Amino acid sequence: MAPAALFLAAFVAWPLLRLVLDSFYDISPMQGGPREFVGLANYASALGGEAFRGAALRTVGYTAIVVTAEFVLGLGTALLFTMLGRRSALLRTVFLYPLMIAPVVAGLLWRFLLIDSSGIVNHLLFRVGLLDSPSDIGWLSDPGVVLWAVAVPDVWLTTSFMTLVLFAGLQNIPGDVIEAARIDGARAGTLLVRIILPLLRPVIAVALIVRGIDAAKAFDIILIQTGGGPQNASQTLSLLIYQTMIRFGEPGLASAMGTLYLLAMLAVATVAVGLIWRPGADR
């Protein structure tokens, strides 16, 4: 275990420790510049700033949109694959293709599809008569819809991951349990709510936690589409921390934001595990 421990210490523990330490300093962005200890001032500035609070709310909203859509679509697709059995082998293979695409490429692809008057989506909607003109909906320029628009590529990319995890969980449900419920007269809705979902609870917990954390860290897929705009309407915490560090040259403040972000993610994961994944709750 020593090599693994050294790797974790060098590439996980030490960077996290530096992140926390730097959050207590006012650091010059120049290499070798002055460092001034400011205590909790960076945390106060982050928590008191409207930008941080707004980015936090948008991150929660973005995560909720993405994870909810992926879970609903993934569960439905996994149930379909289960019903089809071996006949779904080819379909499952094709369904995994989006996972092989880099997020930057996916973001660029969907930018071409959604970008205002020249986007393919608006032109198709215009052709079928759903829009009066191709510029009626500004998917990436309207602050009211941009967060939903930038979530589409993420859902498209990783619904297959959710499907794969849930499909694997469905394969581990004993068939005699389902058959006994059917013999007792249970309908499809009752089977899903009273038997399948409770038995899938640990798998669902893992899938939601992993995807929730991953979605909350969304960065490149939004950066390539909108850069956080318009009017910061798609600026998540990851983008805000990056811009604070790189564009505004405030490493100390960015480190404080990153530390708060990390603590929030740990708290959410802990609560999620306690509420959803309770292996002994059904005993």
- pLDDT tens digits, 156-173: 999 999 999 999 898 888
What share of the chain in percent tops pLDDT 70?
95
Query: Helix, strand, or coil here: 249?
Result: coil
Please give the average per-residue pLDDT across 143-147, as a whole number: 91
Q: What is the pLDDT of residue 276?
A: 64
Q: What is the pLDDT of residue 186?
A: 75
Q: What is the pLDDT of residue 279?
A: 52
Query: Helix, strand, or coil here: 108?
Result: helix
How many whole angstroms separate alpha carbon 68 and alpha carbon 65? 5
Q: What is the pLDDT of residue 278?
A: 59
C-alpha closest to that of 225 among 212, 214, 216, 236: 236
pTM, rounded to two decimals: 0.87
Q: What is the pLDDT of residue 153?
A: 92
Q: What is the pLDDT of residue 199?
A: 86
> Is pLDDT above 80 for 13?
yes
Q: What is the pLDDT of residue 277?
A: 57
> Is pLDDT above 90 for 99?
no
DSSP one-letter code for 186: -
Please give the average per-residue pLDDT across 96-113, as a whole number: 89
> Is pLDDT above 50 for 190?
yes
User: Sorting pLDDT into bands at 50, 70 and 90, what band is 56?
Assistant: very high
Domain residue ranges in the chain: 51-105+154-276
The domain made up of 51-105+154-276 is a member of CATH 1.10.3720.10: yes
> Is pLDDT above 70 for 33?
no
Q: Are 112 and 119 in contact (CB under 8 A)?
A: yes
Among 183-187, 198-202, 277-281, the least confident range: 277-281
* pLDDT tens sequence across 119-140: 888 889 888 888 888 888 889 9
Q: What is the pLDDT of residue 283?
A: 44
> Is pLDDT above 80 for 254?
yes
Please give the average per-residue pLDDT across 260-278, as a whole number: 80
Q: What is the pLDDT of residue 189?
A: 79
How high does pLDDT run on average in the chain? 87
Q: What is the pLDDT of residue 64?
A: 94
Q: Are 134 and 117 in contact (CB under 8 A)?
A: yes
**Alpha helices, DSSP H, located in 184-276:** 188-190, 197-199, 201-216, 220-223, 237-242, 251-276
Q: For tokens 């032109």, what's the residue?
A: 123
Please give the average per-residue pLDDT across 4-16, as a whole number: 87
Which has more pLDDT, 215 or 31? Answer: 215
User: Sorting pLDDT into bands at 50, 70 and 90, what band is 197?
Assistant: confident
- What are 225's two structure tokens? 């589409």
